[in-house]
Amino acid sequence: METVQFRQMKDGTKEEYLFLTKHEDEYAKGLPDRILEALKNLENTLSGYQVSRLGHSLQSATRAEADGADEEMIVAALIHDLGDDLAPHNHSQYAASILRPYVRPEVTWIINQHGLFQNVYYAHFLGGDPNEREYLKDHPWYQACVDFCEKWDQSSFDPDYPTKPLSHFEPLVRKIFSRTAFDPKYVGEQTMGKSAVDIAMSGTSE
């Protein structure tokens, strides 16, 4: 079989879906390569800062590593702005969705919310509410997101900071994104279709 015969998904057979699953599994193995390539492309996006978006991402990950963050959080810091190209108005959610099948819910939640939490630094200049994040103040991961933004994100626009290159983080990217998606060992009870999206993407932790 080179291609399936169905033209509507509801007409597919078991054999066809097994065939497609094999192809999809093989394609998924290339995810680390695609993420690394997407990171490289951040070198040529969103001008105006003293560092490129790639430089900012690498600096954020470098700071996280220097502070003793675990591997999942270092990778999260590395890709937290990966959505700037395709999701400029909800880049946080974009990056969180990439991470969610591979890391614990806390990490996904922090990345999902970091755009909102960053508003505290500048929203008042643009007519927005810098304290909008306060509706989440009782969330168990609230302070962790505050710390992510304060220590690693908002501070990582310094062209003089000794930032490690992408090659330094490549093994970690390959390690995290080569995990089996939604493996309970890493993500707990999350599944693609379960309400774990409420854990990772909303303001609740249960």
pLDDT value at position 192? 75
Domains along the chain with CATH numbers: 13-201 (1.10.3210.10)
Residue 198 has pLDDT above 70, yes or no: no
pLDDT value at position 46? 75
Q: What is the mean pLDDT of residues 130-143?
A: 95
Token couple for 191: 């599944």
Nearest to 85, CA basis, from 39, 152, 128, 25 = 39
Kindly indicate the confidence band of residue 85, based on its pLDDT and cuts at 50, 70 and 90. confident
Phi, then psi, of 119 in degrees rounded to 5: -60, -20
Q: What is the mean pLDDT of residues 163-190?
A: 95
Q: What is the mean pLDDT of residues 162-168?
A: 98
Tens digits of residue pLDDT in 1-53: 899 999 999 999 999 999 999 999 999 999 999 999 999 999 987 789 999 99
d(CA 79, CA 58): 9
Kindly indicate the confidence band of residue 202, based on its pLDDT and cuts at 50, 70 and 90. low
- State what percent of residues in the chain have pLDDT above 90: 86
Cβ pair 89, 98 in contact under 8 A: no
pLDDT value at position 68? 98
d(CA 9, CA 14): 11
Q: What is the mean pLDDT of residues 92-107?
A: 95
Query: Three-class SS string for 43-57?
Result: HHCCCCCCCCHHHHH
pLDDT value at position 200? 54
Kindly indicate the confidence band of residue 169, based on its pLDDT and cuts at 50, 70 and 90. very high
Kindly indicate the confidence band of residue 95, based on its pLDDT and cuts at 50, 70 and 90. very high
Give me the chain's average pLDDT, please: 92
Residue 84 has pLDDT above 70, yes or no: yes
Kindly indicate the confidence band of residue 188, based on its pLDDT and cuts at 50, 70 and 90. confident
Kindly indicate the confidence band of residue 201, based on its pLDDT and cuts at 50, 70 and 90. low
